[in-house]
């Protein structure tokens, strides 16, 4: 009974393997004959049957061979679809034009439709990959000139209809004769972008929702970034009174038109990039207005109030708490001093004002900034000292490296190398001590020398 059962199972396995093999052969023949949708559907079905990507250790070797055949067939159909796509959507940069051919032929196979190519790509699961190159070239040769360059352009579309229906569609951009260079406005940019997207929607994506959506995912982040960086960010007003004019420009962005064509998602707020930018500008002006109002009342209060009484808590031992904002470190001396509470608050307001008022008088700005230059000098000094320490450590490592690891010092040659290396180390350290000791504060000098010596000893120990 067991032998009969095993024979039946083996027979079933052989039938399945033969079926897979025949279907793979049929898919390969379909690719060669131009029946691309049939071949794509067969590959999709066989992917599940052969458990591509879900291999098991204990399975017949023939499954591995069938998977290899499946991968070869997939590579073949991918290559053919990519070549057909390049033939169907042709970019001609010299003429600022893209030609979309709807009736294609390859390797002697006539009458392959561009729609069929896209459908086969979607079935196989390589639609993103297939449209990525087209999307890149659309951005480079069409969207970028419309958005980035100062000369306005007009977008023209041409459709050729033959005996078998629409045979070709062309999109071309050229300088507009009615506009002057440098006078590009938002409406011109947006209308150009919308015209290009409509061409993609109608002539390349065939008004197919999923294909248009795929194209939008590949291009919209870059299109919106171009619009923001090369146009919107340059027309953001400095004065809140001009915010209304800016919002009128934003109203022309036509994100609603893109949503209607399903070029961008209606539910994903992250794709409302232009709208979000405008809202951020509004929030910025509202926040700035609030800061101006609060700043006025705080400055008025400071003018009528002198807080020279020290509010620093006194400790039991007679000292004062070190965490008070009124206790200020003096950069060039070791002591501390107490400043007026009013002066401290005034400096905070000055700093806030300098952050958001680009038109603050330069003369006042220079005087105010001088008051707060000391921390910058301190930071500069720390950076210079750190570079000095690293340079000294580098020189010491070079000197120690000449000792060849202090090995075989019983030999005269190695002994001389080691001795010379140690002499160099001592000379460098002595020179550093002579330079640093008079200039640095004791604690800074100690920390710097410790860092240098630690590097020396760790290098020698290794």
pLDDT in tens, 257-277: 888 898 988 777 777 788 777
In a domain, 405, yes or no: yes
The pLDDT value given to residue 228: 83
390 and 438, same domain (yes or no): yes
Torsion (CA) 423, 429, 430, 435 in degrees, nearest 10: 150
Contact 326/338 with Cβ under 8 angstroms?
A: yes
360 and 401, same domain (yes or no): no
Range of the structural domain that residue 416 is part of: 380-461
> What residues form DSSP beta bridges with 320?
314
The pLDDT value given to residue 206: 92
The model's confidence at residue 121, banded by pLDDT at 50, 70 and 90, is: very high
> What residues form DSSP beta bridges with 103?
113
The pLDDT value given to residue 134: 93
Q: Does the pLDDT value for residue 334 go beyond 60?
A: no
The pLDDT value given to residue 330: 46
In a domain, 442, yes or no: yes
457 and 419, same domain (yes or no): yes
395 and 421, same domain (yes or no): yes
Q: What is the DSSP letter of 313?
A: P
Helix count and strand count (H, E) for the chain: 16, 8
Residue linked to tokens 């680009």: 358
Q: Does the pLDDT value for residue 85 go beyond 80?
A: yes
Could you tell me where the beta strands, DSSP code E, fall in 261-371?
327-329, 336-338
The pLDDT value given to residue 332: 44
CA distance 124 to 155: 34
387 and 456, same domain (yes or no): yes
Q: Does the pLDDT value for residue 205 go beyond 90?
A: yes
pLDDT digits (tens, 9 = 90+) for 412-424: 777 788 788 888 8
Last residue of a domain, one of 315, 347, 368: 368
Is this model's pTM higher than 0.85 or not? no
The model's confidence at residue 214, banded by pLDDT at 50, 70 and 90, is: very high
In a domain, 359, yes or no: yes
In a domain, 67, yes or no: no
394 and 348, same domain (yes or no): no
In a domain, 385, yes or no: yes
pLDDT digits (tens, 9 = 90+) for 357-382: 555 555 655 555 555 555 666 777 78
Residue linked to tokens 């260079």: 181
Domain count, the chain: 2
Q: Does the pLDDT value for residue 211 go beyond 90?
A: yes
Last residue of a domain, one of 325, 347, 368: 368
356 and 390, same domain (yes or no): no
In a domain, 356, yes or no: yes
In a domain, 406, yes or no: yes
In a domain, 452, yes or no: yes
Average pLDDT along the chain: 76
Between 184 and 452, residue with greater pLDDT: 452
Q: Does the pLDDT value for residue 155 go beyond 50?
A: yes
| pLDDT above 90 coverage of the chain, percent | 16
CA distance 295 to 284: 16
| Among 103-107, 122-126, 153-157, 343-347, the least confident range | 153-157
């Amino acid at each position: 009974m067991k032998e009969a059962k095993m024979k039946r199972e083996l027979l079933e396995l052989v039938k399945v393997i033969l079926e897979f093999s025949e279907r793979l052969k049929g898919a390969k023949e379909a690719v060669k004959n131009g029946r691309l949708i049939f071949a794509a559907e067969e590959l999709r079905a066989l992917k599940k049957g052969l458990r591509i990507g879900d291999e098991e250790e204990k399975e017949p070797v023939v499954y591995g061979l069938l998977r290899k055949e499946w991968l070869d067939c997939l590579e073949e159909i991918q290559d053919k679809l990519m070549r057909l796509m390049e033939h169907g959507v042709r970019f001609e940069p010299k003429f600022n034009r893209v030609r979309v051919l709807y009736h294609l032929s390859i390797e002697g196979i006539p009458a392959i439709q561009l729609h069929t190519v896209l459908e086969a790509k979607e079935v196989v699961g390589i639609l993103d990959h297939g449209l990525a190159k087209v999307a890149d070239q659309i951005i480079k040769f069409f969207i970028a000139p419309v958005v980035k360059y100062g000369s306005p352009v007009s977008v023209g579309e041409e459709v050729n209809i033959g005996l078998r229906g629409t045979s070709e569609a062309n999109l071309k951009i050229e300088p507009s004769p009615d506009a002057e260079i440098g006078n590009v406005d938002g409406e011109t940019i947006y209308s150009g972008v919308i015209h290009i997207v409509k061409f993609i929607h109608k002539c390349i994506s065939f008004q197919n929702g999923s294909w248009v959506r795929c194209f939008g995912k590949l291009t919209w982040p870059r299109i919106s970034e171009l619009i923001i960086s090369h146009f919107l960010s340059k027309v953001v007003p400095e004065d809140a009174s001009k915010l209304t004019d800016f919002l009128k420009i934003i109203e022309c962005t036509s994100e609603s038109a893109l949503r209607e064509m399903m070029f961008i998602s209606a539910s994903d707020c992250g794709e409302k990039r232009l709208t979000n930018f405008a809202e951020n500008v509004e929030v910025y002006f509202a926040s700035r207005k609030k800061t101006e109002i609060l700043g006025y009342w705080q400055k008025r209060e400071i003018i009528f109030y002198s807080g020279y009484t020290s509010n620093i808590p006194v400790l039991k031992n007679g000292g004062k708490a070190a965490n008070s904002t009124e206790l200020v470190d003096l950069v060039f001396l070791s002591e501390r001093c107490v400043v007026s509470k009013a002066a401290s608050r005034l400096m905070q307001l000055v700093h806030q004002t300098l952050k958001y008022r680009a038109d603050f008088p330069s003369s006042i700005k220079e005087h105010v900034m001088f008051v707060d230059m000391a921390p910058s000098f301190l930071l500069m000094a720390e950076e210079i000292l750190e570079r000095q320490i690293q340079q000294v450590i580098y020189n010491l490592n070079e000197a120690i490296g000449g000792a060849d690891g202090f090995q075989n010092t019983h030999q005269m040659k190695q002994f001389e190398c080691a001795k010379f290396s140690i002499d160099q180390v001592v000379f460098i350290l002595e020179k550093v001590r002579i330079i640093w000791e008079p200039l640095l504060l004791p604690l800074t000098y100690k920390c710097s020398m410790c860092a240098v010596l630690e590097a020396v000893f760790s290098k020698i120990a290794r």
